[in-house]
Amino acid sequence: MVNQEFVKKLVTKNENKIVLLVMDGVGGLPNEFGNTEMEVAYTPNLDNIVKEGISGIADPVSMGITPGSGPGHLGIFGYDPVKWQIGRGVLAALGIGFPIQKKDVAARGNFATLDEKGNITDRRAGRIPTETCKKLTEKIQNEITEIDGVKIFIKPVMDYRFVLILRGEGLSDKIADTDPQITGVKPLPAKPLDDSAKKTADILNKFIEKAHKIIENEHPANGLLLRGFSEYPDIPPMEEVYGLNPAAIATYPMYKGLAKLVGMEILNVPGMEITDELKVLKENYEKYDFFYFHVKKTDSYGEDGNFNAKVHLIEEVDKIIVPEILKLNPTVFAITGDHSTPAKMKQHSFHGVPFVLLSPYARPDRAEYFSEREIGTKGGLGRFEAKNEIILMLAHALKLKKFGA
């Protein structure tokens, strides 16, 4: 990987625009008929981009490593996800606009369903609506505002997700997740990963016990799970490192948080549909030179095991979004995912993700179709780590100077 300090010296600014379309969890695995979601989907526009551009398979972190959405996106944005290990708590807090402070500790939470023995039967509480999540967080917040001198904030995010923030002295984010990420077992206690986190773990366990009593008669959301404990990191912004004036178009708070963390302007999307996002892109196209355009539900359908719905959404992106972005004629149009979420596995996976780049300055390869196997066997970029994608985007937008004499 070419390091950021080296690239920073080569960056040159111009008016050329980059549009990065991230279809969350787009990569898949073959169904009973031997085809992946991407292979089943009818995608003539994406196929044309593959034919005219360059492509390859990107590993979000490294071969064989299953990434969370945070590491997956950081890699795409040009930040080494191993160096910058950022928990989802801070990202969720930033995504909802919570005024998080440097010493706060934040955790992403899920409302969950527990049976009479306290075992998890549904980690997402039947995907309760955001309005229900709001009522539950308010109920808990009204009864828990402070524990042992540490202020407690619990705020709704979206659907079954919430964010928990601790504010006080002597806190640490070195806490193991309480979410076992499987059903049929009890939530885990908050455990300190080193001695500095003993106080924090004790406060968290007191909070969990109190919160469970408050919501024990709620259904299906009668339990909660915490993960991604984190503090605010000192990460350099994209403008400083890559000379970009970047903007983010996303509907889910965590992805707004990721974008805000690396210095992107968060553009307000008035609705939850991809057409709402497209409208925002068009309205703001002249104001920025880098756009991160996020499509969430490819991942959601994968996690639900809904193969056909994931196929349909890929087709919608091809039919509705891709042609309109092409009409804007960006110098670079890149399409990828932050990780693979095969419907067959119902979770993130370790499989590489297709990356496609269209530019007047691209040297076309032999790939012709928007699919994992086609790009994996014929893509000219071969297999590479996703943290190199930003370098390719900058190069094809002519935003990097020559190195050396």
pLDDT tens string, the chain, 405 residues long: the values are: 568 899 999 999 999 999 999 999 999 999 999 999 999 999 999 999 999 999 999 999 999 999 998 899 999 999 999 998 888 898 889 888 898 988 999 999 999 999 999 999 999 999 999 999 999 999 999 999 999 999 999 999 989 999 999 999 999 999 999 999 999 999 999 999 999 999 999 999 999 999 999 999 999 999 999 999 999 888 999 999 999 999 999 998 889 988 998 999 999 999 999 999 999 999 999 999 999 999 999 999 999 999 999 999 999 999 999 999 999 999 999 999 999 999 999 999 999 999 999 999 999 999 999 999 999 999 999 999 999 999 999 999 999 999 998
Instruction: State the pLDDT at residue 20.
Output: 98
Same domain, 240 and 388: yes
Same domain, 72 and 17: yes
Instruction: State the pLDDT at residue 240.
Output: 95
In a domain, 330, yes or no: yes
Instruction: State the pLDDT at residue 2.
Output: 64
Q: How far apart are the first and last CA of the chain?
A: 22
pTM for the complete prediction? 0.82
Instruction: State the pLDDT at residue 369.
Output: 97
Last residue of a domain, one of 176, 207, 230: 230
Same domain, 174 and 76: no
Domain CATH for 105: 3.30.70
Same domain, 347 and 371: yes
Domain tally, the chain: 2
Same domain, 176 and 252: no
Same domain, 77 and 131: no
SS3 assignment for the chain: CCCHHHHHHHECCCCCCEEEEEECCEECCCCCCCCCHHHHCCCHHHHHHHHHCEEEEEECCCCCCCCCHHHHHHHHCCCCCCCCCCCHHHHHHHHCCCCCCCCCEEEEEEEEEECCCCCEEECCCCCCCHHHHHHHHHHHHHHCCEECCEEEEEEEEECCEEEEEEECCCCCCCEECCCCCCCCCCCCCCEECCHHHHHHHHHHHHHHHHHHHHHCCCCCCCEEEEEEEECCCCCCCHHHHHCCCEEEECCCHHHHHHHHHCCCEECCCCCCCHHHHHHHHHHHCCCCCEEEEEECHHHHHHHCCCHHHHHHHHHHHHHHHHHHHHHHCCCEEEEECCCECCCCCCCCECCCEEEEEECCCCCCCCCCCCCHHHHHHHCCCEEEEHHHHHHHHHHHCCCECCCCC
Instruction: State the pLDDT at residue 311.
Output: 98
Beta carbons within 10 angstroms of residue 110's beta carbon:
25
In a domain, 173, yes or no: yes
For residue 261, what are the domain limits? 4-84+235-396
Instruction: State the pLDDT at residue 42.
Output: 98
Same domain, 161 and 310: no
